[in-house]
Amino acid sequence: MVRGYSPRRYLMCPPEHFRVAYAINPWMDPGKPVDTALAVAQWEALRERYRALGHTVEELAPRRELPDMVFAANGATVLGGRVLGARFAHRERAEEADAHHDWYTTHGFAEVRPAEHTNEGEGDFAPTASWLLAARGFRSDPLAVQEAQEYFGHPAIGLHLVDPAFYHLDTALCVLAGDEIMYYPGAFSPGSRAVLRRLFPDALLATAEDARAFGLNAVSDGHHVLLPQEASGLVEPLRLRGYEPVPVHLSELLKGGGSVKCCTAEIRG
């Protein structure tokens, strides 16, 4: 089986000011040093890989006082050319929402809506062909599910995260193409696992080892799947389904609790 590639448009933010200055997820440890130069080099390699695959990469200017801005997926959700802004759960990241809002309003997007309820963008919203998967439990408010459904007109499915190590949906689930996903069952409540089994009976299930290596914090263009090289157990299952895995190295950014997807906001026209 050969999967269908389609060129994408992404928004990324260079990690020029990336550091672990606080701990707002279990992966962050301010006591561990961060090599910012290495983080920049790894991020640039990811950006250039996207471009080599034919994708467009836009850049959001980083702000010194916002060290987590590199995790651009959290700033908004874009679907059908409409933008729903983020409202961050932690004050340390709150001003990132304004930076994303300003970028979209100055780049030709006519419909840009600030969020009424707490959500962290594509951290907790993942569109498939049929559904908008929307997580709650650690960062996003349950009311954000309804808000997103009303704004985008895309049926939203609420999913409850229960393991703090998987504090965002994009650490526990990845949309591969259409209505095909991969996910780690242990990150979800029993009821949410039942919903996922019903909606996606043929999903690729990740092991705990690959999930904890951020293997589900991946980006798919319908054919290529860019994922952390540490999640080696996902490579062959993806190939068997017709995808081309593209391992990348983002060791420094993992210190902030993010990897490929966290660095990559998709701009869906």
Nearest to 256 by CA among 96, 16, 48, 39: 39
Find all residues with CB under 8 Å of 6, minimum gap 6, and list them.
221, 222
- φ, ψ of residue 57 to 5 degrees: the values are -120, 115
Are 177 and 127 within 8 A, CB to CB?
no
223 has catalytic annotation = no
**Phi/psi of residue 90, nearest 5 degrees:** -110, 135
Contact 152, 128 (CB under 8 A): no
- Active-site residue, selected from the candidate residues 101, 174, 224, 262: 262
Dihedral of the CA atoms 145, 146, 148, 151 (nearest 10)? 180
**Is residue 107 within 8 Å of residue 60, measured between CB atoms?**
no
Q: Are 16 and 40 in contact (CB under 8 A)?
A: yes
* Closest to 257 (Cα-Cα) out of 221, 222, 217: 217
Our answer to whether residue 262 is catalytic in this structure is yes
| Cα atoms found within 13 Å of the Cα of residue 23, Cβ hemisphere only | 9
Catalytic residue among 168, 174, 224, 263: 168
Give the whole-angstrom CA distance, residue 22 versus residue 97: 19
Positions marked active-site: 168, 262
